[in-house]
Amino acid sequence: MKKITVGVLVASASIFIGCTKPAGVNFNLSGYSPEDSVIVYVNNIGGSDKDVLIDTLAAPNGVLFMPAEHDKAKSVVVFKYPKLDLGNSVNSFHMKPIYSVLMPGANMTVSGTTEDFVITGNRAFYEDCNKVEGILKPYKARVNVLLAEIGKLDPYFDKEERDSLFKEMMSIKQPVDSIIFDYVSKNPDSDAALYMLYKNTRGADAVKHIDGFSQEVREGALSDLYNMLKERGERARKRAQEKKENGLGEGSMAPDFTLKNDKGKSVSLSSLRGKYIVLDFWGTWCGWCIKGIPAMKEMYNKYSDKLEIVGIACGDTEKDWKECIKKNGMNWTNLINGENDNLPKLYSVKGYPTKVIISPDGRVLKTVIGESQEFYTYIDSLMKE
């Protein structure tokens, strides 16, 4: 990583009094003392991590000007420099960041507190972003309330209440996406529209809107961001095509297979029809797979009359696999995928764990990559149908 020389970045605001506002970032933040400093990260938004610039700068009383001349939009992330507590230790996770984007030639101001700040500037980009964020504000406020409530609950003892809150939080995504997608479709020449798309949406639905931007946006200050999102879209389309070619789209028949279980008996997927099935592609070497076992056990004990888990160990030795099953009390169907078997590719497994939910008649309902609450929320809703 490159390091910014403090003398280059820090300048007295008094130098610029009476002159045209120079390009750069003004910070005017509350809650700072005369001795406080900030940690600053700067890089091309959507660019390579190797271009990140880092330094610690003095910000007495929260006031700092950081000059910058560039032809690409810059991502500027600022943390208040942490102070040692009474035990002479500091927890970096309590360092709340301020995220901002500095457009070429812009004079931008960040004011307010670390928790509640406003970004303004002498470019239409900032006014446009603030208009959209104003519309989204009540939705984001509700998400923050839900996250705080979820954080107070126990993942196991308060699972139903947590699932209900997660479900409400996921329901907020639809109106937020609609607002952003509508703004993007009406403003194809807007850098703000591209940034709002990146900041506030995720998934295949978001990348579908990339092609609608004008050449001016594609080749402008946010061209790195556009190219990054374009690549994401291409990868998403490729995955969708692979699933289509493999017959793994939602509603398609799950490919049959036969593997050995932990007793040495051959088990085929088709022999398990009649219940909902969860194919759990995992491995004893996968930390998130192991971490998710208690939640999987709880789910299985709750729904085993309607649902069967089929654990498919990948990249494991038979010894490690059997020891892990015994140690963790994994009392569902356990199969091992041989080194030469093509099953993960057949099911388009891109990461571990991957869970494929299959209907009683053998059709693919959903695929979830990673140990995610989304999976458990989906299963709960499925079991209530």
Q: What is the pLDDT of residues 291-329, one digit of tens each?
A: 999 999 999 999 999 999 999 999 888 999 999 999 999
Instruction: Classify residue 76: in a domain, yes or no.
Output: yes
The secondary structure of the chain in percent helix, strand, coil, rounded to multiples of 5, reads 40, 25, 35
Flag residues of the chain having pLDDT under 50.
1-18, 88, 90-94
Instruction: Classify residue 368: in a domain, yes or no.
Output: yes
The confidence score (pLDDT) of residue 338 equals: 75
Neighbours of 1 (CB within 10 A): 10
Same domain, 223 and 338: no
Q: To the nearest 10°, the Cα dihedral for 11, 17, 21, 22?
A: -30
Q: Domain end: 59, 93, 121, which one?
A: 121
Same domain, 81 and 133: no
Instruction: Classify residue 251: in a domain, yes or no.
Output: no
The total number of structural domains in the chain stands at 3
The confidence score (pLDDT) of residue 92 equals: 44
Instruction: Classify residue 221: in a domain, yes or no.
Output: yes
Q: Which residues contact 345 (CB under 8 A, 6 or more apart)?
A: none
Q: Which residues contact 119 (CB under 8 A, 6 or more apart)?
A: 100, 108, 109, 110, 126, 129, 130
CATH classification at residue 70: 2.60.40
The confidence score (pLDDT) of residue 243 equals: 64
The confidence score (pLDDT) of residue 13 equals: 39
The confidence score (pLDDT) of residue 247 equals: 59
Q: pTM surpassing 0.75? A: no
Same domain, 233 and 341: no
Same domain, 107 and 172: no
The confidence score (pLDDT) of residue 95 equals: 65
Backbone angles phi, psi at 358, to 5 degrees: -120, 140
Same domain, 292 and 220: no
Residue span of the structural domain in which 361 resides: 258-383
Provide the 3-class DSSP secondary structure of residue 111: strand
The confidence score (pLDDT) of residue 328 equals: 93
CATH classification at residue 315: 3.40.30.10
Provide the 3-class DSSP secondary structure of residue 274: coil
Q: Domain end: 245, 272, 300, which one?
A: 245
Model pLDDT for residues 79-107, shown as the tens digit of each residue? 888 765 555 454 444 468 899 999 999 99
Q: Domain end: 57, 88, 121, which one?
A: 121
Provide the 3-class DSSP secondary structure of residue 145: helix
The confidence score (pLDDT) of residue 217 equals: 96
The confidence score (pLDDT) of residue 224 equals: 92
> Residue 105 and residue 39: Cα distance in Å, rounded?
23
> Residue 314 and residue 282: Cα distance in Å, rounded?
6
Same domain, 313 and 227: no
